[in-house]
């Protein structure tokens, strides 16, 4: 190959000339009195609320819509626009706005000012508005010709079915229960997830063209081989519907049951009453639900053997006498290995249970189920303990007894893999890689609690990521690395494309002197897939103390709890929702506050002209005027501006 020599003077740019021997150390010379060689660039990073959300919600994105920074398309209300953005990641805003323990709020940078944004309360309002206004998900524009079986209709399965159906794949959900919802229906009581709300959000997914086959258990009603033959890919989302018994002697007593079985019997409408004295062992949200349900059901004096709680839980239905007999308050004690203030359950739920008459005792561990002459449990032998990580250390000489007629173990769950032993990892779960593929089984994917029991929002996130993996598999693509910050990111190019302002196609011109070209978003960098913006990147002094707009809660006293199954949370009104969204600091993305424009001493910062403006493209810098004084970065409330090395 021949190379044509070019005169150095014809080069458009050259840092060093021939013969130069001196190397300039830019780090030593970066600041020169009132100017520097660093000029602003605009860097998008993930906000900590989103990075803390297991379902990967673009929380900042829909809060920007509610607060009016991101305007809806003409003819669309801001509520619908926010709903569309919100459900990109999570198709259950009305449910999750009520029951999610909101790790996003724990991560919120606003905690450094006074209090986090009430993210759940905004989600609650939008979800209810969408149901009231009968918003539907659009059906796919075209069919892919591929078929996917989703095994399990809980949050992970429904999330995957939703994401896969959006891509045009034919999806069939197989579920052994009578109704869809998984733990949202059979694990959480209706006063926390109203069934009309749950049914409405599930119906939206089915109306996209998703098929559901109920009361069908794979491995019993349909073999694994038949399933594989009929579908191009399979997603396992069977949940963990088997509770763990207490790992102590005597736990085989007939009136020792699991929290999973207790709540399933209640949510199926079979459990009408409980025993007089109940001991719930746990400390997480499930144990709180068991205790709270027990207080609401109450105790009746005359109980036939067939109507005992353990018999009802195992499959029978209590007789009608339970609905008409005079109920008395059940004495409910909830025990936890951790101290009460360090229990896994949400603080609000702990406070509600205490208010409703549940006695909560922390820092104690069970040693033995004490049995009476009839072989039934009459109580628990306990002792005080300290925790070494997740392992309890008993304190010698602190043993004591708690009397009880029913003992409920809510200490964990595992999968029911009867007939599916080929998938069992030996611990009652199914293994998964980063793409939620089942190792060694190419067309099998898995997600939700059967991988790792956690939150509903975690299962929803698993379903979303697995759907991406399934789409890659069906297209015959290569599986790359998942991003370090694995969420549903805001994408500047997609935003510009939706507005008809996408960069022009790169035609192969030179890479120098392109600042006037339209082939790129200039002076912008997207680091959201690898970086989360911390509070010390923000100018927190911009934000004044503004109390959070909290939802009202209906508190029920111990004397009024029996038979009270009304919802406790009251949604915020529209004006309070908007006011709460305005507290968002838009961490990692411009929210058009004008600080950089106002405080720039060189008038180097100006607004982007309206015809080119978009979310995140509100201001630009004239580098011929910029002296690199850093003031724009220092006054940027959202941490969007970073000073970069320039010349």
Residues 94 and 98: their CA atoms lie apart, in Å, by 7
Residues of the chain with pLDDT below 70 are: 1-17, 19-35, 300-309, 313-327, 506-516, 645-647
Same domain for 428 and 555, yes or no, is no
Q: What is the pLDDT of residue 3?
A: 38
Cα separation values, 465 from 155, 331, 445, 471, 472, Å: 13, 44, 10, 10, 11
Q: What is the pLDDT of residue 325?
A: 44
Residues 368 and 399: their CA atoms lie apart, in Å, by 11
Where is the domain boundary, 446, 474, 502? 474
Residues 378 and 360: their CA atoms lie apart, in Å, by 19
Q: What is the pLDDT of residue 1?
A: 35
Same domain for 342 and 457, yes or no, is no
Indicate the number of domains in the chain: 4
Q: What is the pLDDT of residues 363-375, one digit of tens each?
A: 999 999 999 999 9
Where is the domain boundary, 414, 438, 462? 414
Q: What is the pLDDT of residue 499?
A: 81
Q: What is the pLDDT of residue 78?
A: 98
Q: What CATH number should be reported for the domain holding residue 187?
A: 3.50.50.60
Please indicate, yes or no, if residue 122 is contained in any of the structural domains.
yes
Q: Which two tokens stand for residue 7?
A: 């005169």
Same domain for 358 and 373, yes or no, is yes
Domain with 330, as residue range(s), is 243-414
Q: Cβ of 304: how many Cβ atoms within 10 Å?
A: 11
Same domain for 111 and 153, yes or no, is no
Burial of residue 119 (number of CB atoms within 10 Å: 0-12, 13-18, 19+): buried
- Residue 155, classed as helix, strand or coil, is helix
Same domain for 552 and 641, yes or no, is no
Please indicate, yes or no, if residue 14 is contained in any of the structural domains.
no
- Residue 32, classed as helix, strand or coil, is strand
The count of C-alpha atoms lying within 13 angstroms of the C-alpha of 120, restricted to the half-sphere facing its C-beta, is 20
Q: What is the pLDDT of residue 502?
A: 77
Tokens 């509520």, residue located? 79
Please indicate, yes or no, if residue 51 is contained in any of the structural domains.
no
Same domain for 615 and 467, yes or no, is no
Q: What is the pLDDT of residue 326?
A: 52
How open is the CA angle 427-431-434, to the nearest 5 degrees? 150
Q: What is the pLDDT of residue 531?
A: 96
Please indicate, yes or no, if residue 15 is contained in any of the structural domains.
no
Please indicate, yes or no, if residue 539 is contained in any of the structural domains.
no
Same domain for 304 and 221, yes or no, is no
Is the separation of the CB atoms in 293 and 259 below 8 Å?
no
Same domain for 272 and 377, yes or no, is yes
Q: What is the pLDDT of residue 32?
A: 58
Please indicate, yes or no, if residue 341 is contained in any of the structural domains.
yes
Is the separation of the CB atoms in 638 and 587 below 8 Å?
yes
């Amino acid at each position: 190959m021949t190379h044509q020599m070019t005169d150095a003077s014809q080069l458009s740019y050259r840092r060093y000339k021939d013969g130069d021997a001196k190397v300039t150390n830019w780090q030593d010379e970066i600041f020169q009195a009132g100017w520097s060689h660093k000029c602003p660039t605009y860097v998008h990073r993930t906000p900590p609320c989103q990075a803390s959300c297991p379902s990967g919600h673009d929380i900042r994105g829909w809060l920007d819509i509610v607060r009016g920074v991101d305007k809806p398309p003409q003819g669309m209300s801001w509520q619908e626009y926010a709903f569309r953005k919100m459900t990109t990641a999570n198709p259950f805003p009305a449910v999750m706005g009520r029951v999610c323990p909101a790790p996003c709020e724990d991560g919120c940078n606003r905690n450094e000012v006074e209090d986090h944004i009430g993210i759940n309360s905004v989600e609650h309002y939008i979800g209810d508005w969408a149901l009231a206004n009968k918003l539907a998900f659009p059906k796919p524009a075209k069919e892919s010709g591929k078929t996917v079986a989703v095994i399990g209709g809980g949050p992970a399965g429904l999330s995957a079915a939703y994401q896969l159906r959006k891509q045009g794949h034919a999806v069939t959900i197989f579920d052994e229960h009578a109704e869809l919802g998984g733990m949202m229906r059979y694990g959480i009581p209706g006063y926390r997830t109203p069934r009309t709300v749950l049914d409405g959000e599930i119906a939206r997914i089915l109306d996209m063209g998703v098929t559901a086959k109920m009361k069908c258990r794979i491995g019993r009603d349909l073999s694994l081989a038949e399933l594989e033959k009929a579908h191009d890919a399979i997603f396992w989302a069977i949940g963990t519907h088997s509770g763990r018994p207490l790992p102590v002697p005597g736990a085989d007593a007939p009136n020792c049951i699991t929290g999973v079985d207790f709540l399933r019997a209640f949510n199926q409408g079979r459990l009408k009453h409980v025993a007089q004295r109940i001991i719930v062992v746990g400390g997480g949200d499930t144990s709180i639900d068991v205790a709270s349900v027990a207080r609401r059901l109450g105790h009746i004096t005359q109980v036939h053997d067939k109507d005992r709680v353990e018999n009802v839980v195992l499959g029978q239905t209590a007789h009608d006498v339970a609905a008409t007999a005079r109920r008395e308050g059940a004495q409910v004690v909830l025990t936890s290995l951790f101290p009460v203030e360090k229990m896994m359950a949400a603080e609000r739920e702990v406070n509600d249970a205490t208010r409703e008459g549940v006695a909560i005792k922390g820092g104690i561990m069970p040693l033995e189920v004490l049995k009476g002459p009839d072989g039934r449990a009459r109580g628990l032998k306990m002792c005080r303990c300290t925790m070494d990580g997740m392992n309890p250390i008993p304190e010698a000489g602190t043993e004591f007894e708690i009397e009880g007629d029913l003992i409920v173990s809510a200490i964990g769950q595992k999968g029911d893999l009867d007939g599916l032993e080929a998938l069992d990892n030996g611990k009652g779960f199914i293994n998964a890689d980063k793409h939620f593929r089942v190792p060694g089984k190419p067309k099998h994917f898995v997600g939700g609690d059967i991988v790792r029991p956690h939150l509903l929002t975690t299962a929803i996130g698993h379903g979303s990521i697995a759907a991406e993996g399934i789409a890659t598999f069906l297209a015959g693509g290569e599986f790359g690395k998942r991003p370090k910050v694995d969420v549903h990111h805001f994408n500047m190019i997609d935003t510009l494309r939706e507005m008809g302002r996408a960069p022009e196609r790169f035609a192969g011109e030179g890479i120098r002197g392109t600042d006037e070209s339209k082939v790129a978003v200039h002076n912008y960098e997207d680091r959201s897939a690898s970086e989360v913006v911390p509070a010390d990147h923000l100018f927190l002094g911009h934000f004044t103390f503004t109390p959070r707009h909290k939802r009202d809660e209906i508190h029920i006293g111990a004397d009024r709890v029996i038979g009270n199954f009304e919802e406790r949370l009251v949604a915020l009104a529209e004006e309070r929702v908007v006011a709460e969204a305005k507290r968002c600091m838009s961490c990692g993305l411009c929210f058009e506050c004008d600080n950089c424009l106002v405080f720039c001493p060189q008038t180097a910062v100006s607004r982007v002209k309206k015809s080119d403006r978009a979310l995140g493209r509100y201001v630009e810098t004239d580098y011929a005027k910029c002296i690199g004084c850093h003031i724009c970065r220092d006054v940027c409330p959202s941490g969007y501006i970073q000073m970069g090395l320039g010349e």
